[in-house]
Amino acid sequence: MMKRVFMDYQSGMPLDPLVFETMKPYFTEHFGNPLSLHYLSEPVKEALINAREKVAELINAETPEKEIIFTSGGTESINLAIKGVASRNKNEGNHIITSQIEHMATLNTCKSLMKEGFNITFLPVDKHGTVDIEALKEEITDKTILISIMYANNEIGTIEPIKEIVEIAEDKKIYFHTDAVAAAGKIPIDAQQEKIGLITLSSNDIYGPKGVGALYVNKRVKIAPIILGGGQERGLRSGTENIPGIVGFGKAAELAKKNMKEEGKQIEKLRDILIKNILEKIERSYLTGHPEKRLPNNASFRFDGIEGESIVLKLSQNGIVAATGSACASQTLEPSHVLRATGLNHVQAHGSLLLTLSKWNTEEDVNYLLENLPKTISTLREMSPVWQMIEQGVDLEEKMKEWMQGEEEHHHDEEEL
Amino acid sequence: MMKRVFMDYQSGMPLDPLVFETMKPYFTEHFGNPLSLHYLSEPVKEALINAREKVAELINAETPEKEIIFTSGGTESINLAIKGVASRNKNEGNHIITSQIEHMATLNTCKSLMKEGFNITFLPVDKHGTVDIEALKEEITDKTILISIMYANNEIGTIEPIKEIVEIAEDKKIYFHTDAVAAAGKIPIDAQQEKIGLITLSSNDIYGPKGVGALYVNKRVKIAPIILGGGQERGLRSGTENIPGIVGFGKAAELAKKNMKEEGKQIEKLRDILIKNILEKIERSYLTGHPEKRLPNNASFRFDGIEGESIVLKLSQNGIVAATGSACASQTLEPSHVLRATGLNHVQAHGSLLLTLSKWNTEEDVNYLLENLPKTISTLREMSPVWQMIEQGVDLEEKMKEWMQGEEEHHHDEEEL
């Protein structure tokens, strides 16, 4: 059997077996509704309280019962945070600031608000993907009601200067939301100490089940619900609670808090071996994202003269699971909007490879990747007309400008729906 | 050990073991993202297609890939149907017609649209909970863009005259949505033959996992999404797919289609024993909902002179799980809005008992309930001042008017958030 090596954990995680064991009784035995009056509701009520506490502890939220809203996942949480703040506080202003490298959930939610009269500022980032703090300061107006910046980027791993952003938001009394889907469970997040207003969390990104997430809403922050009904989650997210999912998320949060530091060190070590060796062994290879301020599990690159899609397909034939751009971006044929925002042109951005590690990766995995990748890149480059031009010393910058002009004509409208 | 009898399946269902077995590999082994380019995506892509087909088959939808949108559950589907039609078609009109006995998801979503300039008509029902067709005809205006009526009621089991409603909607070219959460898998629903525009489905109500549902949207019906992001579900419901949940829902739909008829007969037989015996054995007991046009699993009653809450708590002490009103209604201390709409006053509506059966109920269960319930009712009535008044021949109608006046003053604003 072919060796199988998984380095695309950002796109999907298997459940931690301990999490699965914790969930199981809630599928079959404890199937009650927490709102019922009879004895079947007791174990589920308790489980709900317990899970809420564990999720709160992961980000050091002060009052679980008032500040954690369970949702169906990161995307819903982001929608709830942004639309929830916007619709509840629209009398205070109609301006929202976010960045160009946010998840599509943030970008598309913000774009949809433009149709309702909101103005959105999409802040630029530098070549490492760090949000431009000076631009943030300049863009704030007295109509600004929300700043939404991700804690760390899911594609290039860059950790954003949250502390500085919060200071600015606090100073101007503007709500701050952070999409912490990629960061939570990987690096410490402290809602109280960091004074963050809203935090989006996803269960599957911390070895929990898919289909469940949470939004932390500091008790001083006012939002409106987007899904209405029976009034669950203090009226902020109706719908019968997905108890097995929530229980699993709670257990995953508990394990993440307990093991983050140790596991992080181990994963970071593997990441550093990957980065060092890939940059050394493969000519014209580049790290994307920040060289130091990056998530411990993220090793992202680009390679001149080839397409990321081809790299991923070729690696897949050898049992290696990897990504190019984010899974969400692969809906379209567009190159990653994140890489584009860091200043790369279409052709450069198309040559990306994203390796995301988990606690299950080993040195053996890393060695297998390091054996395979250089060969894969060479093989693909041999077939690549672009690479041949590079070798022949053609002025690619000039060539690319020509191509891009052609491409831009096809891609001027990136808006979804 | 005390005997345990479950007759509150409307509030929560255990997973069918066959469904759970089908889901398991998708938690741990097939954990890929359908959007990925590598081999891990293949089994999940296939699973997604297969589940979509099975859910489509349950309601005889023509084109699964274009008409089934997976969501996080019934509540989200209802929100998507109503807000999705409203926001996409607001240029056509701003009037929506629904009924007074809908699920809170429908009622509260409609109420929230009133803040955005929509007019909502809440149609009355008769004493059996059947929607008033003549009122429907009269209320339609040239601004009416949507009629949303449940297929069958979750509390009193009444099956609504969907065929007649669709004819009226078709004739006036108005979209029709039906909340089929309580009906699907219990009675046949045929999207094509019945010409229904939108159908809300929930997985847990057909022995599938919680946290997953679907909205059927006929391909001629235009809606807008409420959760934006990576563009999953053809852009109508973004967010990484909850693959284990969707797989489970698919299996549950397959089983429901296959076994509905046979299981329905068995459940209906038990229901009829319950209804016959309870009405015979307990004085001043009344069936709520329609005597014939009702779901096979629903046996709902009211009893003079006592509170439903006390009945449920007392039964729970004897191992019997039952409900009063719906689980969602128990968030508040309000009596069931459904029973109120059928013409019962506050005091009458408070004395309700809802028994909902599943394929796992047996004659033994029914006998146990029939042994316990009359004793429970007697005991409670002995302690009830209202019952004593009834026995003393006090004119309760008059008395209730006095009480209600007091109560109404406290309850004139039922709107949620």
Here the ipTM equals 0.94
Catalytic residue among A168, A328, A400, A404, which?
A328
The verdict on B378 touching A (C-beta cutoff 8 Å) is no
Q: How many CB atoms within 10 Å of residue B37? A: 24
| B153: nearest Cα among B372, B352, B367 | B352
Please tell me the least confidently modeled range out of A2-6, A97-101, B299-303, B366-370.
A2-6
Both A214 and A313 in a single domain?
no
Both A161 and A124 in a single domain?
yes
CB-side neighbour CA atoms (13 Å) of B359 = 17
Both B268 and B242 in a single domain?
no
Arithmetic mean of pLDDT over chain A: 93
Asked if B210's CB is within 8 angstroms of A240's CB, the reply is yes
Both A117 and A246 in a single domain?
yes
Residue A415 falls inside a structural domain: no
Asked if A242's CB is within 8 angstroms of B72's CB, the reply is yes
Q: B363-383 vs B308-317: helix axis angle to the nearest 10?
A: 120
Residues of A numbered 1-20 whose beta carbons fall under 8 angstroms of chain B's beta carbons: which are they? 6, 8, 11-15, 17, 20
- DSSP codes of every residue in B118-184: -EEEEE-B-TT--B-HHHHHHH--TTEEEEE--SB-TTT-BBP-HHHHHHHHHHHT-EEEEE-TTTT
Both B238 and B325 in a single domain?
no
Both A245 and A390 in a single domain?
no
Q: How many CB atoms within 10 Å of residue B372? A: 18
Residue A417 falls inside a structural domain: no
Asked if pLDDT for residue A392 goes beyond 50, the answer is yes
Residues of A whose CB is below 8 A from B316: 37-39
Q: How many CB atoms within 10 Å of residue B65? A: 11
Residue B86 falls inside a structural domain: yes
The verdict on B84 touching A (C-beta cutoff 8 Å) is no
| B154: nearest Cα among B386, B379, B355 | B355
Both B184 and B209 in a single domain?
yes
Of B223, B256, B289, which closes a domain? Answer: B256
Q: How confident is the model at residue A415 (pLDDT cuts 50, 70, 90)?
A: very low
Residues B328 and A229: their CA atoms lie apart, in Å, by 8
Q: Are A180 and A159 in contact (CB under 8 A)?
A: no
Residue A216 falls inside a structural domain: yes
Both B340 and B357 in a single domain?
yes
Angle value at C-alpha B68, between B65 and B72, nearest 5 degrees: 130
Nearest CA in chain B to A328: B230
Structure token digits, residue B162: 């969907």
Residue B417 falls inside a structural domain: no
> In this complex, which of B71, B204, B328 lies closest to A230 when CB atoms are compared?
B328
Distance between B232 CA and the closest CA of chain A, angstroms: 8
Q: Which are the contacts of A30, defined by CB distance < 8 A and separation ≥ 6?
A: A40, A43, A44, A47, A243
Of A228, A256, A284, which closes a domain? Answer: A256
pLDDT at A401: 72
How many domains in chain B?
A: 2
Q: Are B165 and B140 in contact (CB under 8 A)?
A: no
Residues of B whose CB is below 8 A from A227: 75-76, 79, 226
Asked if A38's CB is within 8 angstroms of B31's CB, the reply is no
B110 is an active site residue = no
Both B307 and B208 in a single domain?
no
Asked if A210's CB is within 8 angstroms of B240's CB, the reply is yes
Residues of A whose CB is below 8 A from B329: 230
Residues A117 and A282: their CA atoms lie apart, in Å, by 49
Residue A325 falls inside a structural domain: yes
Asked if A235's CB is within 8 angstroms of B417's CB, the reply is yes
pLDDT at B415: 41
Residues B149 and A111: their CA atoms lie apart, in Å, by 32
Residues of A numbered 20-49 whose beta carbons fall under 8 angstroms of chain B's beta carbons: which are they? 20, 27-29, 31-33, 35-40, 44
Q: Which are the contacts of A148, defined by CB distance < 8 A and separation ≥ 6?
A: A78, A81, A82, A96, A97, A98, A102, A106, A110, A176, A177, A178, A179
Residues of A numbered 86-115 whose beta carbons fall under 8 angstroms of chain B's beta carbons: which are they? 103-105, 108-109, 111-112
Q: Print the domain residue range for A138.
A: 17-256
Nearest CA in chain B to A115: B87
Q: How far is CA A32 from the centre of its chain?
A: 33
DSSP-assigned letter for residue B62: S
Residues B145 and A414: their CA atoms lie apart, in Å, by 30
C-alpha separations of B295 from B187, B356, B405 in Å:
7, 10, 35
Residues of A whose CB is below 8 A from B210: 240-245
Q: Are B416 and A235 in contact (CB under 8 A)?
A: yes
Residues A376 and A342: their CA atoms lie apart, in Å, by 26
Q: How confident is the model at residue A228 (pLDDT cuts 50, 70, 90)?
A: very high
Q: Are B336 and B307 in contact (CB under 8 A)?
A: no
Asked if A33's CB is within 8 angstroms of B245's CB, the reply is no
**H-assigned helices in A205-321:** 243-281, 308-317
Residues A361 and B95: their CA atoms lie apart, in Å, by 56
Residues B228 and A162: their CA atoms lie apart, in Å, by 24
Asked if B35's CB is within 8 angstroms of A28's CB, the reply is no
Q: Are A387 and A306 in contact (CB under 8 A)?
A: yes
Asked if A321's CB is within 8 angstroms of B38's CB, the reply is yes
pLDDT at A397: 73
pLDDT tens-digit profile of B110-147? 999 999 999 999 999 999 999 999 999 999 999 999 99
**H-assigned helices in A282-345:** 308-317, 337-341
Q: Are B12 and B362 in contact (CB under 8 A)?
A: no
The position carrying tokens 């109920």 is B361
Residues of A whose CB is below 8 A from B204: 240
Q: Are B192 and B62 in contact (CB under 8 A)?
A: yes
β B68-71/B213-217 pair status: antiparallel
The verdict on A359 touching B (C-beta cutoff 8 Å) is no
Residues B229 and A326: their CA atoms lie apart, in Å, by 13
Q: How confident is the model at residue A69 (pLDDT cuts 50, 70, 90)?
A: very high
Residues A70 and A137: their CA atoms lie apart, in Å, by 33
Asked if B72's CB is within 8 angstroms of A210's CB, the reply is no
**H-assigned helices in A151-208:** 162-172
Q: Are B283 and B344 in contact (CB under 8 A)?
A: no
For residues B16, A22, A205, A366, the Cα torsion angle rounded to the nearest 10 degrees is -110
Asked if A76's CB is within 8 angstroms of B227's CB, the reply is yes
**H-assigned helices in B344-410:** 346-350, 363-383, 385-391, 396-410
Structure token digits, residue A358: 């988990």
pLDDT tens-digit profile of A106-164? 999 999 999 999 999 999 999 999 999 999 999 999 999 999 999 999 999 999 999 99
Q: What is the CATH number of the domain that holds A306?
A: 3.90.1150.10
Residues of A whose CB is below 8 A from B244: 209-211
Of A241, A256, A271, which closes a domain? Answer: A256
Both A90 and A138 in a single domain?
yes
Both B95 and B197 in a single domain?
yes
C-alpha separations of A103 from A202, A299, B183, B229 in Å:
13, 18, 38, 8
Structure token digits, residue B388: 């004593």
Q: What is the CATH number of the domain that holds A23?
A: 3.40.640.10
Both B334 and B268 in a single domain?
yes
C-alpha separations of A183 from A72, A388, B228 in Å:
18, 39, 21
Residues A200 and A98: their CA atoms lie apart, in Å, by 14
Give chain A's end-to-end CA distance (angstroms, integer). 44
- Residue B286, beta-bridge partner list: B302
For residues B163, B166, B172, B176, the Cα torsion angle rounded to the nearest 10 degrees is 170
| B172: nearest Cα among B143, B131, B134 | B143
- DSSP codes of every residue in B183-252: TTTTS---TTTTT-SEEEEESGGGT--SS-EEEEE-TT-----SS-SS-TGGGTS-S---HHHHHHHHHH
Asked if A35's CB is within 8 angstroms of B11's CB, the reply is yes
Residue B415 falls inside a structural domain: no
| B328: nearest Cα among A28, A40, A225, A37 | A37
Residues of chain B where predicted confidence (pLDDT) is lower than 70: 1, 326-333, 403-404, 406-417
Distance between B392 CA and the closest CA of chain A, angstroms: 31
Residue A328 falls inside a structural domain: yes
pLDDT at B417: 39
pLDDT tens-digit profile of A288-339? 999 999 999 999 999 999 999 999 999 999 999 999 976 555 556 678 999 9
The verdict on A333 touching B (C-beta cutoff 8 Å) is no
pLDDT at A68: 98
Asked if pLDDT for residue A225 goes beyond 80, the answer is yes
Amino acid at A267: I
pLDDT tens-digit profile of A153-200? 999 999 999 999 999 999 999 999 999 999 999 999 999 999 999 999
The values of phi and psi at residue B45, to 5°, are -60, -45
